[in-house]
Amino acid sequence: MARAHLYGTPVSPGIALGTVHFLHTDPVPEKRRILAAEVEQEQEKLQAALQAVSEDLDKACKKVPEDMQEYREIIAVQKDMTRDPRLVESTGKLIAEDLVNASWALSQVVQQLCNIFREMQDPYLQDRAQDIRAVGLRILEKLSGSEHGAELPSSLILAAEDISPADIMDLDADRIVGIMTHEGGITSHTAIMARGMHIPALVCVTNLMVAAKEGDSVILDGITGNILIDPDDNDSKRLSERAENYRSWRKATSNMAHWPADTVDAVRVSVLANIESPEETSSLAATGADGIGLYRTEFAFMGDNIPNEEELATEYTKVVQGSPGTAVIRTLDCGADKLMKAQAQLKEPNPALGLRGVRYTLRNQDLFRVQLRALLRAGVSGRLAVMVPMISNVEEVRAVKRLMQEVDQELCMRHIPHARTLPLGIMVETPAAMMITDALARECDFFSIGTNDLIHYMLAIDRNNRHVAYLSDCMHPAVVRALKRIIDSGHRAGLSVSACGELSADPFGVVLMLGMGIDAFSVSPAFLPGIKHLIRKLEARACTELASQVLMSSDIPACKHMVREMLQKTMGHELGFMTSSSMVERGQTV
Ligand code: PEP
Ligand code: MG
């Protein structure tokens, strides 16, 4: 155990003190020659291990909390792999033909399958390799008897290359106080799940696999991104106090969550929720959400089966009925890092610049019509607006509107109750859309700024590439000017403008965009009470002055300094409880 400082990207807020527990550290199986007479025995061992893993995954499925049912499907996919002939039959064959023990045979087959998938160089199939590896490791753990047992300590900080939702459910969730991974991103499922379960988490932790060891004591700060391995007594005391203060702050902001987000000079801003499953609506009231600003519809399309109109209509109706205000449902935004199975076959050289979002849905209109019909049907059950992602020209918006009219006619002919029309908005997230907002505004009812992709495309920084993450900066003058341009042209055309990327949950982004007159922020529910609290403390007029100064400057450090000063003056020590990529000063905070 050696004292070390590590840094990662905060994806779920909170501070955790606990003991490192590594998941899936490759057990290296020994190769053992067996006698022909032992083949049956080894094959029985394999079957028993497969059965045990399948039962474990079943149990993990059952532990998935009510409001996170979508994770059951991910776990079910892994369970299906325990019956996959490519894995099971090939291993059995290898045992019998090469006369080797089950663990060795399994490790060889898993390795071969992983290599085949990895070599395909396709993000979707590469993900499959990760699933196979994860299941393979579980089976190996069973075969070697080395699986994590009941004698684990109570405050676990899980560490791994990557963690799947099943891993979290597999352990007693109450024992997990923190998560840190070498891979992953802010929008990965583990990140979303960690936020939903209020488990502090960091991803992209550099050096994690070499610097941390099983059983190390560790402090993880899911707000600043710092990790301290082997803290001394002073560190532990200081960070325990910080953790306690953070808990009190969270409780206090949650208690005030239902108050409106009015600035001190009485400017009202809506604060909405970004969610991904209908089950999440059940906890929205407690967060004080004024509505749903972004419902991501991709999840239902990621499995083996494409959902039908009935299933989608049921899903969207639940979202509309469960929303505290208007629910903005985004049409399918598959592509880039959210590839559907069908897209994997396209073998696009650069999927982030390929058939993504509306480009894909307009090219696959049968599928798009099903989704649009489901949306119109859900429109009868409450306030619903439709939002289209990845728009880069006016024709795309017109094409979507034409399709909506056509599906309305289809539903009329089938005598199915539905909303004849719905408000239609667009995500402004490509530089092209940002430059033609005046023309786009004439075609739609509202704008929502997708800051994640806007920054990614404007600054030419792959949002999932940790090597260039250091270049991502919301205070880059190009980003600041783009935000202003979108908000102004939306308003000039009488449209409401919201922002729904991660920047909406960042105090720097809130000050800037509030100062530019944004109407609403849409954030992950974990950040909602804190963002409302911040807005209630800000003065809109002062934010406007500050935003003007920032707009006139191209000196990023000076601009950050100005915004930080205002935030510190407004929030005092509370600022330390809010996550901001602009405030993380690596190496200084723990
Ligand atoms: C965005 O791009 O900012 C956004 C909210 O959408 P997503 O993260 O789903 O691409
Ligand atoms: Mg986007």
pLDDT in tens, 22-47: 887 666 788 899 989 999 999 999 99
Helix (H) / strand (E) element for 449: namely: strand 446-449
* pLDDT score of 210 more than 90: no
Q: Which residues contact 413 (CB under 8 A, 6 or more apart)?
A: none
* pLDDT score of 164 more than 80: no
Q: How far apart are CA 447 and CA 387, in angstroms?
A: 9
Residue 549 CA: distances (Å) to CA of 516, 545, 580: 11, 6, 20
Chain-centroid distance, C-alpha 530: 19
Most confident of 133-137, 138-142, 183-187: 138-142
Q: How far apart are CA 81 and CA 500, in angstroms?
A: 36
The phi and psi torsions of 221 (rounded to 5 degrees) equal -105, 105
Chain-centroid distance, C-alpha 299: 11
Q: How far apart are CA 512 and CA 553, in angstroms?
A: 13
27-57 in b/e burial notation, b at 16+ Cβ within 10 A?
bebeeeebeeeebeebbebbeebbebbbebb
Q: What pLDDT does residue 124 have?
A: 56
Q: How far apart are CA 434 and CA 499, in angstroms?
A: 13
Q: What is the mean pLDDT of residues 229-244?
A: 93
Query: pLDDT per residue over 68-125, tens digit each?
Result: 666 677 777 778 888 888 889 999 999 999 999 999 999 899 888 888 876 765 555 6
Query: pLDDT per residue over 321-377, tens digit each?
Result: 999 999 999 999 988 777 777 777 788 888 899 999 999 999 999 999 999 999 999
Of the candidates 292, 290, 288, 327, the residue with the CA atom closest to the CA atom of residue 530: 288
Q: Which residues contact 257 (CB under 8 A, 6 or more apart)?
A: 286, 287, 288, 528, 529, 532
Minimum-distance ligand 1 atom for the alpha carbon of 294: 5
Q: How far apart are CA 175 and CA 177, in angstroms?
A: 6
Q: What is the mean pLDDT of residues 228-251?
A: 94
Across 143-147, 297-301, 312-316, least confident range:
143-147
For 1, the token pair is: 């155990």
For 566, the token pair is: 């205002």
Ligand nearest to the CA of 191: 1
Query: pLDDT per residue over 274-291, tens digit each?
Result: 998 898 899 899 999 999
Sheet holding 156-160, edge to edge: 4-7, 226-229, 217-221, 15-22, 156-160, 176-181, 201-203, 9-12
Q: How far apart are CA 204 and CA 186, in angstroms?
A: 9
**Could you tell me the pLDDT band of residue 307, with boundaries at 50, 70 and 90?**
very high
Q: What pLDDT does residue 67 have?
A: 64
For 154, the token pair is: 């109570």
Q: What is the mean pLDDT of residues 493-521?
A: 97
388-405 in b/e burial notation, b at 16+ Cβ within 10 A?
bbbbbeeebbebbeebbe
Q: What pLDDT does residue 462 have?
A: 85
* pLDDT score of 535 more than 70: yes
DSSP secondary structure of 151-170: T--SSEEEEES---HHHHHH
Minimum-distance ligand 1 atom for the alpha carbon of 502: 3
For 91, the token pair is: 């291993």
Residue 166 CA: distances (Å) to CA of 58, 91, 151, 289, 339: 10, 24, 20, 29, 21
* pLDDT score of 293 more than 70: yes
Q: What is the mean pLDDT of residues 453-482?
A: 88
Residue whose CA is at the smallest distance from ligand 1 atom 5: 501
Q: What is the mean pLDDT of residues 2-23?
A: 90
**What is the number of other CB atoms lying within 10 angstroms of the CB of residue 264?**
14
Q: Which amino acid is it at 221?
A: D
- List Cβ<8 Å contacts ≥24 apart for 87-93: 87/113, 87/132, 87/135, 87/136, 88/46, 88/50, 91/46, 92/43, 92/46
* pLDDT score of 179 more than 50: yes
Residue among 500, 518, 522 whose CB has most ligand 1 atoms within 8 A, to mutate: 500
What is the DSSP code (8-state) at residue 171? S
Residues with CB under 6 A from ligand 1: 187, 294, 296, 333, 429, 450-453, 500-501
Q: What pLDDT does residue 590 have?
A: 30
CB 495 within 8 A of CB 444: yes
Q: Which amino acid is it at 17?
A: L
Most confident of 107-116, 214-223, 456-465: 214-223
To the nearest whole number, what is the mean pLDDT of the chain? 89
CB 499 within 8 A of CB 509: yes
In the reported structure, the alpha carbon of residue 431 is separated from the centroid of ligand 1 by a whole-number distance in angstroms of: 14
**Could you tell me the pLDDT band of residue 63, with boundaries at 50, 70 and 90?**
confident
**Could you tell me the pLDDT band of residue 584, with boundaries at 50, 70 and 90?**
low
For 132, the token pair is: 């196979």
Q: What pLDDT does residue 148 have?
A: 52
Query: pLDDT per residue over 389-438, tens digit each?
Result: 999 999 999 999 999 999 999 999 999 999 999 999 999 999 999 999 99
Minimum-distance ligand 1 atom for the alpha carbon of 274: 5
Of the candidates 533, 527, 573, the residue with the CA atom closest to the CA atom of residue 262: 533
**Could you tell me the pLDDT band of residue 146, with boundaries at 50, 70 and 90?**
low
Q: What is the mean pLDDT of residues 551-557?
A: 95
* pLDDT score of 15 more than 50: yes
Residues above pLDDT 90, as percent of the chain? 63
Q: What pLDDT does residue 558 have?
A: 96
CB 32 within 8 A of CB 169: no
- List Cβ<8 Å contacts ≥24 apart for 553-557: 553/477, 554/477, 556/473, 556/475, 556/476, 556/477
Residue whose CA is at the smallest distance from ligand 1 atom 1: 450
Q: Is 275 helix (H, G, I), strand (E, B) or coil?
A: strand
Provide the whole-model pTM: 0.81
**Catalytic sites, residue numbers:** 189, 500
Helix (H) / strand (E) element for 228: namely: strand 226-229
In the reported structure, the alpha carbon of residue 452 is separated from the centroid of ligand 1 by a whole-number distance in angstroms of: 5
In the reported structure, the alpha carbon of residue 311 is separated from the centroid of ligand 2 by a whole-number distance in angstroms of: 24
Q: What pLDDT does residue 260 have?
A: 97
In the reported structure, the alpha carbon of residue 296 is separated from the centroid of ligand 1 by a whole-number distance in angstroms of: 9
Residue 328 backbone class (left: φ over 0; alpha: ψ -120 to 50; beta: rest): beta
CB 336 within 8 A of CB 465: no
Q: How far apart are CA 427 and CA 389, in angstroms?
A: 5
